[in-house]
Structure 1
Amino acid sequence: MMEQFNRRKFLAAATVLATGTVATGMACNNADTGGKTKLVHHVFFWLKNAGNAEDRAKLIEGLETLKGIKEIGQLLIGTPAGTEKREVVDHSYDVSELMFFDNQAQQDAYQVHPIHKAFVEKYSHLWEKVVVYDTLMA
């Protein structure tokens, strides 16, 4: 039952994300952003102990600390959804986080922020691999 609740919570967040992404894209296309471009920072983590619930919970706990960084406009944390297995869908990661920044300068400030540095120092022993996708919203 707890697994279904978590899956539902993640799906609800994904719906909000999709709506926000569309709205952000529309806002960027329809309004003068003063030369600023929205930046989306999506990070995927593979645990050293793949599938380990305790390590996953610790990593999520660590990611939650990043919410203390004021430069982050929005932070969503999730785990792979139980969607259809298809060649183009990657369910191999353990945890992902999705951040929205108003501009590149905010993302740059996040990278060197003491909370971010503390997160990496305290939790990096948990992951084996990290992949980052940074996207500028047109």
Structure 2
Amino acid sequence: MTLSGGITMVPAAMASPDKKRQVIHHVFFWLKNPNSTEDLNKLLDGLRSLEKIEAVRQYHIGIPALTEARAVVDKTYAVSALSFFDDLEGQNAYQVHPLHKKFVETCSPLWSRIQVYDAVDL
């Protein structure tokens, strides 16, 4: 399927497994106590520690923007973290890294929900 701008949609199962593709890992967090500044700061501190993982090429932590309300925009999350990796191997190494494991152990009691979106470059 070709989208506007000439972008071709390729099902993940059809993507060439031998081609190294940059992986984009975007995680959204909802806090159990959304009005707790202390919980938010703990989560932010934990997220900041993940940038030190060697496999991370770019990293961004954000909060919902004050853009206009539209039906397609979800502003219910508290924080998002966006990570870029050279390839799947880098993303896999990140998942088992001691800093990531420590983050999950320390910060998971703070969130009520997380949602992850992983993508690869075409």
Alignment pair present for 1:36 and 2:24:
no
Deviations 1:24-59 (A, max 9, x none): xxxxxxxxxx82101100000000002422211110
Deviations 1:99-123 (A, max 9, x none): 0001000000000001100000011
1:51–1:94 contact (8 Å) kept in structure 2: no
Q: Secondary structure at the match of 1:130?
A: strand
Alignment pair present for 1:93 and 2:77:
yes
Match of 1:70 in 2: 54
Match of 1:127 in 2: 111
How far apart are the structure 2 equivalents of 1:87 and 1:52?
Answer: 27
Match of 1:114 in 2: 98
How far apart are the structure 2 equivalents of 1:105 and 1:55?
Answer: 32
How far apart are the structure 2 equivalents of 1:109 and 1:47?
Answer: 26
Q: CA deviation at 1:68?
A: 1.4
* TM-score (structure 2 length as normaliser): 0.83
Q: Secondary structure at the match of 2:68?
A: coil
Amino acid at match of 1:72: V
1:75–1:98 contact (8 Å) kept in structure 2: yes
* Gapped regions of structure 1 (runs ≥ 5): 1-33
Deviations 1:65-111 (A, max 9, x none): 00110001111001111110110000000000000001000000000
Q: Secondary structure at the match of 1:37?
A: coil
Amino acid at match of 2:21: T
Q: Secondary structure at the match of 2:51?
A: helix
* Gapped regions of structure 2 (runs ≥ 5): 1-17
How far apart are the structure 2 equivalents of 1:52 and 1:84?
Answer: 25
1:79–1:95 contact (8 Å) kept in structure 2: yes
Q: Would you identify which runs of 4 or more consecutive aligned residues in structure 1 move more than 3 Å?
A: none
